[in-house]
Structure 1
Amino acid sequence: MTTASQAGTPAPDPEMRGLRLVIVLLALTVVSGLIDAVSYLGLGRVFTANMTGNVVVLGFAAAGAPGFSVPHTATSLGCFLLGAVTGGRLAARYSGGSRRAWARLTLAAEAVLVAVSAVVAFAWPHATGTVYALIALTGYAMGLRNATVRKLRIPDLTTTVLTMTLTGLASESRFGDATSRREPRRTAAVLAMLAGACLGAWLVLHHGLGIPLALAAAVSAVLALVASGKE
């Protein structure tokens, strides 16, 4: 039998197999909305995906504003940073090789961490340590993901913060300097976060914390199976 290389046809690049990273990161942006809905509405007004908001929340808590907790917010920040350190170590090891394998490994780790948080939410919804466990698990998962997304360098798709995305959408639009070529991507990122937050809030308010966490874990797991290495 004549192989593709023997026939002069290049073999398919394994990095191209699967879902483009742009689509993967947009789906992860939806997951971020779910995660922050769980953390802010269900875990005491703390963010575990959006650290910009979390630093502000920590300032509120430190000033004694009612409804905010320094221990909760500090736990989230600390675990996020630990996750980011882990993501950085993984990037140092895998970024020079298969982008596809690296992205899939990180997404699989995120799926496992969020799935464990869903199990905790279902099994011990009222236990004293449940809030801290959920903050720690989701914060670590989001730190790991953010470090990876940063190293992947896909423009305008950070998956957790939208400040610069919105800035670019407005400042480079036809009403600004009219230089934008990525309006669809930026708009999709904003809508993805909004959709995830709306869905997550509805699920938290009507069904508790376990279901949105399980959904977030399921989406991350599917993405871990289908992500490619191409933008």
Structure 2
Amino acid sequence: MTPAPASAATKSTLPRLLLLLSATTGLVDAASVLGLGKVFTANMTGNVVFLGFAAAGTPGFKVIPALFALFAFIIGAWGAGRLARAHVELPLRRWLLWAAVIEAGLLWIAAAISTRIDIAAQAPEIAVLSVIVLTGFAMGLRNATVRSLKVPDLTTTVLTLTITGIAADMTGKATSPNFARRFGAVLSIFLGAAVGAALLLHVGLAVPLVLAGAIVLGATVLSARDPAFGEPHKA
């Protein structure tokens, strides 16, 4: 069974936290696509598509990095499920803080390893694959944790259904109450990707990953101060 968050937290601080986490998705994907050889480590839809391109022999795409990203993401999601079940009936903040600490730690280790990578040559290969695995695991952990929170329109990693909701709800006479949240999710990932790309191009591969980890941990620690995060969550 997956835990459900306290309703008070869902209506107040939690959506703002998830918008900040959405921005880190853009940072991580900027680092992976632009710095690790055209592979997604946060967005598995894109990664499966890239894997298909690679399997067909399309120049510029490789099977092994895409597979490493996919399997690392799956293992991370599995780990998040176990972490969630271990925190049933415990305060919401404890569960989310543990998830944030693990995710930030993985991103920072990946950042440290990435300082050894020659982006143009995609070498050394072991360093490239290590960063792919670490960031893929971190984002799998994040995605499964957010899925367990069940906050509508804020998955932090996928926007297809969010954009669909924006467009579909425009057919009504009144603006959807979820429009601001949906638009915020799209804008957050866009800004994260733009900032991540700029940092990678002008400073280095490690910087977007360091920043992503700092936002994940810092935003979660600040959000956890909300009294609603002290309520136990139910299975």
Please name the residue that 1:213 is paired with.
209
Please name the residue that 1:125 is paired with.
117
Contact 2:31 2:208 in 1 (8 A): yes
The one-letter amino acid of 1:23's match is R
Please name the residue that 2:219 is paired with.
223
Contact 1:170 1:176 in 2 (8 A): no
SS in structure 1 at match of 2:156? coil
CA RMSD of aligned residues (A): 1.9
Contact 2:17 2:220 in 1 (8 A): no
Contact 1:108 1:224 in 2 (8 A): no
Please name the residue that 1:159 is paired with.
156
Please name the residue that 1:24 is paired with.
17
Alignment of 1:92-171 (within 5 A): 92-122=85-115, 124-126=116-118, 127-171=124-168
The 2-side partners of 1:222 and 1:191 are apart by: 20
Contact 1:84 1:143 in 2 (8 A): yes
Please name the residue that 1:70 is paired with.
63
SS in structure 1 at match of 2:42? coil
The 2-side partners of 1:77 and 1:176 are apart by: 39
The one-letter amino acid of 2:25's match is S
Please name the residue that 1:196 is paired with.
192
Q: Which has the larger radius of gyration?
A: 1
Contact 1:84 1:140 in 2 (8 A): yes
The one-letter amino acid of 1:86's match is G
Alignment of 1:38-53 (within 5 A): 38-53=31-46
The 2-side partners of 1:87 and 1:145 are apart by: 7
Shift of the 224–64 alpha-carbon distance from structure 1 to 2, 3 Å rule, reads same
Please name the residue that 2:233 is paired with.
none
The one-letter amino acid of 2:41's match is T
Question: Could you tell me how far 1:183 is from its partner in structure 2?
Answer: 0.4
1:163-193 C-alpha deviation (Å, 9 max, x unpaired): 00001111012x3575721100001000000
Are positions 1:54 and 2:47 aligned together?
yes
Identity in percent: 47
Please name the residue that 1:187 is paired with.
183
Contact 2:114 2:131 in 1 (8 A): yes
The 1-side partners of 2:164 and 2:181 are apart by: 13
Please name the residue that 2:72 is paired with.
79
The 2-side partners of 1:82 and 1:69 are apart by: 21
Shift of the 177–149 alpha-carbon distance from structure 1 to 2, 3 Å rule, reads farther
Which 5+ residue runs of structure 1 have no aligned equivalent?
Answer: 1-12
Please name the residue that 1:6 is paired with.
none
- TM-score, normalised to structure 2, is 0.86
- TM-score, normalised to structure 1, is 0.87
The 1-side partners of 2:172 and 2:55 are apart by: 38
SS in structure 1 at match of 2:125? coil
The one-letter amino acid of 1:130's match is A
The 1-side partners of 2:168 and 2:185 are apart by: 16
The 2-side partners of 1:214 and 1:155 are apart by: 28
Please name the residue that 1:172 is paired with.
169
